[in-house]
Structure 1
Amino acid sequence: MDNKLFLDSLLFEYVNASDVKRAFQLEFEGYPPEEAATLEKLEYRQSLAPTLFLGAYLPPNLSTSSERLLIGFVVSTLTSATTITEESMSHHDPFGKTVCVHSVCVDKLYQRRGVAARMLNEYITKLRNESQNRDTDVKYERAVLISHEYLIPLYQKVGFILKGESQVVHGNDKWFDLTFEF
């Protein structure tokens, strides 16, 4: 299947509680152990901020099962801080205006096919639409994340701006702060 057709066939839906274990499997396979979120953290994020946990799913006709299959996700919480700190990453503030992205993860079988960029574009669109919806009090001001240096071009491709080296220490490698202003 041609890659554009593949990307166009993906389903983007909020990850429900029954898919969090699959998200954890992807997280565990995609990040070094010292960087991966625990199942409990993913369950916490899904329960408190379900509309900030977006999944990329293969439809049943492209999956080896009769159901859609989670192949990637973006998960965030809210903070009142304008930048990422250890504290802002630790708790969900339901009144926060900053979307703190914790994980962007794609199944290794589907990496380097544009899934992460497509998923992030979908995520940003949903956040922007939610912020502009007059029927809701939700008004996000920015999305922030930390990235390893080799992934910075991916995030810049979807509109994040590099702010510099992060103060956050998480695992062994250096991190960089990126921001997307709405």
Structure 2
Amino acid sequence: MQTEGEIRTLSRGEVSAAWALEVAGYPAEEAASLAKLEYRQRVAGELFLGHFINGKLVGYICATRSIVDHYTMRCLEDHDPEGTTVCIHSVCVDQAWRHCGIALSLLRHFLEVVACSCPTARRVSLISHQHILPLYAKAGFTMIGPSSVTCGPDTWYECAIDLT
């Protein structure tokens, strides 16, 4: 399957396509609302990237910034443009395009964007279920341990990359 495409920031009008991927890819209790994705795109649009193939969104990654060093429930709700921790909220790929390298490509591109557009960022943090941890390790993240975040019935694990 051809996975070459374009990775770029999403426009306001493209957020609904990301939301469709979100609700298809996450259980209902874990999926972000359309309003939450619209907020993240509005306040941190430079951290909302999509992978497009033939003009169709097949995967995306979005994040906001936080003033705390670790991923918390507050990170899910607020964006602090002065924050030194970039908190990834979603890495989501269309079911038909999974296991093709798109998520890893998005993560690597995202880290390059953070390095260029967020010079004061010291860390990129995310939470993951255990079965997805190998993907994040491949992208260079280190698993810190169980997260304090509770969203859905399964345990979340915090992973991070220190940029400094």
Q: Report TM bin, short chain.
A: over 0.9
Deviation at 1:130, TM superposition (A): 2.4
Task: Indicate the SS of the match to 1:70.
Answer: strand
Partner of 2:131: 150
Q: Secondary structure at the match of 1:74?
A: strand
RMSD (Å) for aligned C-alpha atoms: 1.0
Match of 1:41 in 2: 36
TM-score normalised by structure 2 residue count? 0.96
Q: Which aligned pairs between 1:95-106 and structure 2 lie closer than 5 A?
A: 95-106=82-93
SS of structure 2 residue aligned to 1:174: coil
Could you give the per-residue CA deviations for residues 82-124 of structure 1, whole angstroms, max 9, x where no partner exists? 0011112210001101101100000001001111001111111
Q: Which has the larger radius of gyration?
A: 1
Instruction: State whether structure 2 residue 164 is matched by structure 1 residue 177.
Output: no
- Residue 129 of structure 1 deviates from its aligned partner by 2.3
Query: 1:135 — aligned with what?
Result: none
Aligned length: 163
> Structure 1 vs Structure 2: percent identity of aligned residues?
37
The CA distance in 2 between the partners of 1:39 and 1:163, in whole Å, is: 30
Q: Distance in 1 between matches of 2:70 and 2:62?
A: 17
Q: With the length of structure 1 as denominator, give the TM-score of the two structures.
A: 0.87
2:53 is aligned with 1:72: no
Aligned match for 1:163, one of 144, 147, 157: 144
Amino acid across the alignment from 1:142: R
Query: Unmatched 5+ residue regions in structure 1?
Result: 60-67, 132-137
Task: Tell me, in whole angstroms, the C-alpha distance in 2 between the residues paired with 1:141 and 1:130.
Answer: 12
Structure 1 runs of 4+ aligned residues shifted over 6 Å read none
Using the TM superposition, give the Cα deviation of residue 28 of structure 1 relative to its aligned residue in structure 2, in angstroms. 0.3
